[in-house]
A and B are shown apart, each in its own frame.
Chain A
């Protein structure tokens, strides 16, 4: 039983962590969070199932197309729901505009795809059992993203540019960095990561439109607990969340586990609104 809790918990936790990283990548580039983070994850699963299971494409092609779909949605989010409201950040209109976009995509998926969960294809034709791909795929995806982002931010010029606009937008623009293009690139990257989360976790979560709000919520929990923009905090918090949820699942029974998660989330946030690893913001009058 413990084994099952740990493997399922870590796998789910990796998916949450990936969605949290999606949130963070968007946040770093624009200072806003988006309700589309979970939608990207949902779309990764649905597109994977659509391309591979329904349209019969090879796994590799379906995979790339699903990621491309995520990138497109990321860019659309930036253009439609983020850029127009960036000028008035203090009014928090981005909460509403990204919510609207997320709902549109979710409803479109529900109507055009299915309102029922659809199966996600097995990606590798190996026998079920033991430490299955069901578990290691999300973990692998999470590891690849962490290492990839680390390399991108530390070793490449564009990674440095990302960090620069995340650190100080005005200074970065003053240095002549193409802020708008970098923001679009960040949102595309976020889209890819979100879709990857849904694709890698497809077998576990299935291709289901209602995964969107679920992932938006559980993907944001690690962000809140780990501190905004803090990817390492997000991964740790994501894994803990997954383990906690699975443990609660076994101990207090299926659905009350979410009550437990929610309660802990609220209590931690009320005690430390800046997150467990975040720094307090000084207030300015």
Chain B
């Protein structure tokens, strides 16, 4: 495997080599320099603005993982800022406990923020988008009301003094460096996550949730972790905010702030770190240039939001993405290299057979599948054909857990597959592709394929956050394996390209590469040949045969009889949810009912 991967690399030195890493880091380094040298240029009021931008970014960086990467519309994040600000201030002031040192208070605030981040975030796991947005909005309203009402602790409408951090951070510029340092750390940490399997899994949940599940990504665990992190940094930002304001009242935490955070991310662009960072700086600084407009700033943010949503949904990040505006070669053929399957898939898995016994499922009065028996054996290609509505895709969906059969059983090596736990299928090495390719359009082809290997990473979220060795090893392995998978299906030249620029047939092969990342014992292909040219179908057929040859059991749902008869060892013909015929290709070809009903003379 390693030898193959190293052989691949020299031909594409610029794909993800050190040059491109450096150019990606360049804007951040520039901002770092500007930030460090800022006190040389000016002072006074601009120092406050710069500190404020840093504080906001500490919050936005975490929120960015939720909104920009995870696609969860959390509009009430100011609630966590409020929570952090009050927790820190109250603990330092000693209203309830003995007065605590500011750093300890800030740390406690982070813990409280993490817990509440999780609580606010939990509904996202079950609720639809608008519901979640409304829930966060409701939470934001309520936190402010509580701050107002709980006079004995928060001081009510009168407020409470913010914490003062001891020297060397007590002076204006000292405090600025403190905030700037934290902002820089947050940038580094979230950039690490963004470039890790966790960041890619988040974008997969955002843009292709079913594909994420099929790749074994457990949405609750992942989003839960991200909400914890995001809540913690938001509360830290709150503590800093309180110190910066030096005195806080509930009035300081209007929904306008929430909107500012949220819009900063959207202006910046989803799935980017640099974009939202620039967005935050822009939105913090802009109103200062137009003093008369300060009252109108939220109105202008709202206008900006509308314009972005309607006109440039990609935000700043897309405008800055020069690399992906270069035209692609127009005449590019997909030439799979099945010989690479051996290093990619390794030794044939020993999984037994995947069997369906008497499976039945109806939707209302319609019997989608009715007493279906099926056996997929390792190393064999099993074809599932039949007219539209005969239950082919439904069968796939029962196997991958999107539907639960009402009768019968789906067994892997004799053991029943768990109901509901769709992402567990990936751990059992059952991979699949989709009738309409489910791809993260804004991610590169390589990243899309790497999503398929998410469950093979060993490092934890914390390790990725801090870029510890295990994270880096995971990434290197995933990258090499994904390059190998891409080379296997014949797409390695497109590895760095944004996936939404690909042609339809290329997306189909990308999905196969992603599925191969699981080293599948069983591979379910849902109409893999739809939309492919005759030549591509032929190559696809050879690739599927080679995959089966490596020991994988393949189930193909297809409409192209030629492909099915060429590659299948065994064919099941469905009609109205029932088996019309089953047997070898030769038997099916000779089956009179099948020929009459489906194949034609």
Contacts and interface: CB of A to CB of B under 8 A. Distances in A.
Contact of A213 (B130, B255, B296, B397): B255
A285 B138 contact: no
A108 to B, nearest CB: 6
Nearest to A88: B313
B310 interface: yes
Size band of the interface chain B makes with A: 35 or more
B485 to A, nearest CB: 23
Interface stretch (A63-71, A90-98, A167-175): A90-98
Contacts of A80: 306
Contacts of A254: 149
Interface in B128-179: 128-131, 133-135, 137-139, 141-142, 145-146, 148-149
A269 B131 contact: yes
A93 B73 contact: no
Contacts of B298: 103, 107
Interface in A77-93: 80-81, 84-85, 91-93
A273 B130 CA distance: 12
Contact of A255 (B148, B210, B302, B434): B148
Interface string A95-133: 111011101100110010000000000000000000000
A270 B400 CA distance: 25
Interface in B364-417: 393, 397, 400, 402-403
A279 to B, nearest CB: 11
Contacts of B148: 255
Contacts of A140: none
B299 A95 contact: no
B309 interface: yes
Interface stretch (A50-58, A187-195, A216-224): A216-224
B310 A270 contact: no
Interface stretch (B119-127, B234-242, B505-513, B541-549): B119-127
Contact of A92 (B129, B149, B296): B129
Given A92-B129, A213-B141, A104 B146 contact: no
Interface stretch (A3-11, A153-161, A240-248, A257-265): A257-265
Contact of B145 (A92, A100, A255, A270): A255
B302 A270 contact: no
B73 A96 contact: yes
B130 A96 contact: no
A214 interface: yes
A37 B303 CA distance: 18
Contacts of A100: 302-303, 305-306, 309
Contacts of B489: none
A283 B25 CA distance: 42
B149 A95 contact: no
B363 interface: yes
A36 to B, nearest CB: 12
A251 to B, nearest CB: 15
Interface string B77-92: 0000000000000000
Contact of A97 (B145, B306, B393, B397): B306
B565 interface: no
A269 B127 contact: yes
B434 A285 contact: yes
A217 B138 contact: yes
Nearest to B206: A91
Contact of B309 (A32, A97, A111, A220): A97
B138 to A, nearest CB: 5
B164 to A, nearest CB: 29
A214 B128 CA distance: 20
A285 B397 CA distance: 7
A104 B303 contact: yes
Given A81-B306, A217-B141, A270 B130 contact: no
Contacts of B303: 100, 104
Given A92-B130, A96-B309, A103-B301, A262 B139 contact: yes
Nearest to B266: A96
Nearest to A101: B306
Contact of A103 (B133, B135, B138, B302): B302
B223 interface: no
Contacts, number: 110
A256 interface: yes
Contact of A96 (B134, B142, B305, B397): B305
B127 A273 contact: yes
Main secondary structure of the interface of A (DSSP, over half): helix
Interface string B28-65: 00000000000000000000000000000000000000
Size band of the interface chain A makes with B: 35 or more
Given A107-B296, A255-B149, A97 B123 contact: no
Interface string B400-441: 101100000000000000000000000000000010000000
A84 B310 contact: yes
B295 interface: yes
Interface in A185-214: 213-214
A152 interface: no
A111 B296 contact: yes
A270 B123 contact: yes
Interface in B238-291: 255, 259, 266
B123 A266 contact: yes
B75 interface: yes
A33 interface: yes
B130 A103 contact: no
Nearest to A281: B128
A105 to B, nearest CB: 9
Nearest to B138: A217
A282 interface: yes
A33 B259 contact: no
Contacts of B296: 107, 111
A104 B302 contact: yes
Nearest to A266: B123
Contact of A285 (B142, B145, B149, B393): B393
Given A95-B73, A258-B141, A285 B299 contact: no
Contact of A256 (B122, B146, B306): B146
Given A96-B266, A97-B309, A224-B131, A270 B126 contact: yes
B126 A103 contact: no
A214 B403 CA distance: 39
B130 A95 contact: yes
B131 to A, nearest CB: 6
Interface in B304-363: 305-306, 309-310, 313, 363
A256 B142 CA distance: 8
Given A107-B296, A108-B299, A216-B137, A93 B309 contact: yes
Contact of B137 (A107, A217, A259): A217
A32 B309 CA distance: 16
Contacts of A217: 134, 137-138, 141
B210 A285 contact: yes
Contacts of A101: 302, 306
A104 B149 contact: no
A100 B402 CA distance: 35
A217 B146 CA distance: 17
Contacts of B266: 96
7 contacts: A33-B130, A80-B306, A92-B73, A104-B306, A111-B296, A216-B137, A266-B123
In the complex, the 10 A-B pairs of residues with the closest C-beta atoms, listed nearest first: A255-B149, A103-B302, A100-B306, A107-B299, A100-B305, A92-B129, A104-B302, A255-B145, A217-B138, A96-B309
Given A103-B259, A224-B131, 16 more contacts: A81-B306, A96-B305, A97-B305, A97-B309, A99-B75, A217-B134, A220-B134, A255-B145, A255-B148, A258-B142, A262-B139, A265-B135, A270-B123, A273-B126, A273-B128, A285-B397
